[in-house]
Structure 1
Amino acid sequence: MGIQDIVEGKKQWRAHTARVKALPPDYQIVYKEIQRYLFKVGPIDLADGNLLTGIVDFFEEGASAGKGVLELIGADVAAFCDGLTKDSRTNADVYQESLSGRPGK
């Protein structure tokens, strides 16, 4: 990874966070909780940015339709995140494998 890649990644992340800040306050709170959850136990390929960008797209559509954020995702943020990552290998899986000493799937 070269310096140009790092600079481009920072530009993309700043644009992403600007989109999040443009969301209504309740959407921002839920997004931050989703982000915290996914960074902790989320999929290993989270760094490619597609999942978080997709969530912001989904939230922007919901906000423009006048829906509340909990109408979109339900009352359980963790269950929503688990549904998004159900078929992905997660950091939690890697951690469990390191404890058991057995390789993953």
Structure 2
Amino acid sequence: MNIWETITGSDLTRDWNGFGDRAKVLPPDYQAAWAEITQHLLLYGDFTGRNLTPIADGVLGLLEESAAEGLTAHQVLGDDIAGFAAAVAGGDGAKTFHDRWREQLNRNVAKKLKHLGG
């Protein structure tokens, strides 16, 4: 990866387009599960989303292997796809970007209040 790719994010676009191409050849139930997983994973991304690329690659690999073994998406993922996404993104209690933004806002407000108070 060169500096230009880092700045523009073109490497991320290329990676995620590749994931999409890989997902298109999966059975329909896996394609639907992949779409739902990616929606839930996005909540756990950092500012650029680079932290999600290896996670998404691993999840897609799991789906590809499971489909090749003839399992259904439900057999592999169960009913709680949001829980699955949270688990692979960092386990139970993993912070979403909403959580991180809320914490930063609270810290900034506390600093301002402390500054105003004395």
Whether TM-score is above 0.5 comes out as yes
**1:3, CA displacement in angstroms?**
5.0
Aligned residue pair count: 101
Aligned residues: CA RMSD? 2.5
- Distance in 2 between residues matched to 1:91 and 1:54, nearest whole Å: 21
- Distance in 2 between residues matched to 1:57 and 1:76, nearest whole Å: 19
TM-score normalised according to structure 1 size: 0.77
Which amino acid letter does the alignment assign opposite residue 67 of structure 1? L
2:103 to 94, 97, 104: 97
Provide the residue aligned with 2:24 in structure 1.
21
After TM superposition, list the pairs within 5 Å mapping 1:16-55 onto structure 2: 16-39=19-42, 41-44=43-46, 46-48=49-51, 49-55=53-59
Q: In structure 2, list runs of 5 or more residues that go unmatched.
A: 109-118
Provide the residue aligned with 2:70 in structure 1.
66
Provide the residue aligned with 2:15 in structure 1.
12
TM-score normalised according to structure 2 size: 0.70
**Largest Rg, 1 or 2:** 2
Give percent identity, aligned residues only. 25
